[in-house]
Chains A and B, each alone.
Chain A
Amino acid sequence: MIDAESLPLIFASLLGLSILLYVVLDGFDLGVGLLLPFAESNQRDRRVASIGPFWDANETWLVLAIGILLVAFPAAHGQILTALYLPDLPVAIMLIGLILRGVAFEFRAKAPLPHKDRWDRIFFAGSLTTSLSQGLMLGLYVMGLKWGLAEVAFAALTSLALSAAYGFIGAAWLILKTDGALQLKAVAWARRGIWGLVLGMAAVSLATPLVSPRIFAKWFSFPEIVLLVPLPVMSALLIVLVWIALKRLPTRDDSFAWFPFAAATLLMALGFCGMAYSFYPFIVPERLTIAAAASSPESLRIILFGVVCVLPVILAYTVFAYAIFRGKATGLSYD
Chain B
Amino acid sequence: MTATYLTSWSGLWLFWRRGAENLPRPYLTALTAMTFSGWVATLAGWYVTEIGRQPWLVQGVLTAADAVGPVAAGMVLSTLLAYLAVYVLLLAAYVGALFHLAGRKPGFAPAPRFVLQPAGE
Nearest chain-A residue to B71 (Cβ)? Answer: A85
Q: Assess whether A297 is interfacial by the CB under 8 Å rule.
A: no
A153 to chain B, nearest CB (A): 22
CB-based nearest B residue for A89: B79
Which residue of the partner chain B has the closest CB to A48? Answer: B114
A331 near B117: Cβ-Cβ < 8 Å: yes
Q: Which of B78, B100, B109, B118 contacts A325 (CB 8 A)?
A: B118
Shortest distance between the CB of B75 and any CB in chain A (Å): 7
Q: Does B19 contact A (CB under 8 A)?
A: no
Q: Does A138 sit at the interface, judged by CB under 8 A?
A: no
Contact check, A328 vs B105: say whether CB atoms are below 8 A apart.
Answer: no
B70 touches A328 (CB 8 A): no
C-beta contact mask, A153-174 vs B, less than 8 Å → 1, else 0? 0000000000000000000000
Does A99 sit at the interface, judged by CB under 8 A? yes
Within 8 A of B (CB), among A34-80: 49, 52-53, 78
User: When the two chains form their complex, are residues A49 and B116 in contact, meaning their CB atoms are under 8 A apart?
Assistant: yes
* CB-nearest residue of chain B to A100: B86
Q: Evaluate contact between A326 and B119: CB separation under 8 angstroms.
A: yes
The smallest C-beta distance from A42 to any residue of chain B, in angstroms, reads 14
Instruction: Chain B residues near A96: list those with CB within 8 A.
Output: 82-83, 86
> What is the distance, in angstroms, from A163's C-beta to the closest C-beta of chain B?
21
Provide the A297-335 mask, 1 if CB < 8 A to any CB of B, else 0. Answer: 000000000000000000000000000111111111111
State the Cβ distance, A334 to closest chain B Cβ, in Å.
4
Q: Tell me which residues across on chain A come within 8 A of B119, comparing CB atoms.
A: 177, 325-330
A107 within 8 A of B: yes
The reply to whether B97 and A110 contact each other, CB–CB distance below 8 Å, is yes
**Cβ distance B82 to chain A, nearest Cβ, rounded Å:** 6
Say whether A112 contacts B86, CB under 8 Å. Answer: no
Find B75's partner among A89, A177, A325 (CB 8 Å cutoff): A89
Give chain B's interface residue range (CB within 8 Å of chain A). Answer: 20 to 34
What chain B residues lie within 8 Å of A100 (beta carbons)? Answer: 86
Decide yes or no whether A92 CB sits under 8 A from chain B.
yes
A332 to B93, CA, bound (A): 23
Point out the residues of chain A lying under 8 angstroms from B17, CB to CB. none
Complex Cα distance, B69 from A253, in Å, reads 58
Minimum CB–CB distance from A21 to chain B (whole Å) comes to 22
Q: Which of B56-75 contact A (CB under 8 A)?
A: 69-72, 75
Judged by a CB distance under 8 angstroms, whether A113 is at the interface is yes
Contact with A along B78-119 (1 / 0, CB 8 A): 110011001000100100110011000100110111111111
**Distance of B99 from chain A, by nearest CB (Å):** 10
Interface status of A206 (Cβ within 8 A of chain B):
no
Asked if B120 is an interface residue, CB under 8 A from chain A, the answer is yes
Which chain A residues have a beta carbon within 8 Å of chain B's beta carbons? 49, 52-53, 78, 82, 85-87, 89, 92, 95-96, 99-100, 103, 107, 109-114, 177, 324-335
New contact pairs (12) apart from A113-B112, A334-B112, CB-CB < 8 Å: A82-B69, A95-B83, A100-B86, A103-B90, A109-B113, A110-B111, A111-B97, A112-B96, A329-B119, A330-B117, A330-B119, A335-B112
Report 10 cross-chain contacts, Cβ distance below 8 Å, ordered by A residue. Answer: A82-B71, A86-B75, A112-B109, A113-B109, A330-B119, A332-B114, A332-B115, A333-B115, A334-B113, A335-B112
Residues in B lying within 8 Å of A, measured CB to CB = 69-72, 75, 78-79, 82-83, 86, 90, 93, 96-97, 100-101, 105, 108-109, 111-121
